[in-house]
């Protein structure tokens, strides 16, 4: 019989990744920000990062979870920046 080294570790990481994804499923929280205040926008981004980090804390050493969390953080960051830009444009059009 031939054993595959690392298979148990991979299975454990995949199981943890599934558990972490369950923690991140659904609404994470609500952040508010002033689209005209860069500090407010950055505070909202940092708030989302803290929320994600707190949800995945038990799986912090899992490379799969870490990668997924990094992608998620970047996605939320881009979304907040986009919403702020859209709100500024809307505000300018209303004037």
Per-residue pLDDT of the chain (95 residues; tens, 9 = 90+): 555 666 777 788 888 888 887 777 777 788 999 999 999 999 999 999 999 999 888 888 888 888 888 999 999 999 999 999 999 998 877 76
Domain tally, the chain: 1
What gap in Å lies between CA 22 and CA 58, rounded to an integer? 13
Q: What is the pLDDT of residue 75?
A: 94
Tokens of 31: 């952040």
* Domain region containing 45: 34-95
Residue 11 · residue 67 · CB < 8 Å: no
Contact 62, 10 (CB under 8 A): no
Q: Is residue 5 situated within a structural domain?
A: no
**Does the residue 17 lie in any domain?**
no
19 within some domain: no
Closest residue by Cα to residue 34 from 73, 80, 79: 80
pLDDT the model gives residue 95: 65
What is the rounded distance in angstroms from the CA atom of residue 35 to the CA atom of residue 44? 10
> Quick check: is 13 in a domain?
no
Q: What pLDDT is attached to residue 37?
A: 96
């Amino acid at each position: 019989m031939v054993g595959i080294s690392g298979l148990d570790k991979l299975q454990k990481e995949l199981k943890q990744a599934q558990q972490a994804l369950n923690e991140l499923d659904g609404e994470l929280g609500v952040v508010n920000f002033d689209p005209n205040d860069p500090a407010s926008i950055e505070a909202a981004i940092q708030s989302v990062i803290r929320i994600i980090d707190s949800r995945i804390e038990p799986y912090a050493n899992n490379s799969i979870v870490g990668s997924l969390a990094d992608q998620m953080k970047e996605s939320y960051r881009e979304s907040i920046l986009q919403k702020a830009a859209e709100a500024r444009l809307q505000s300018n059009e209303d004037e």
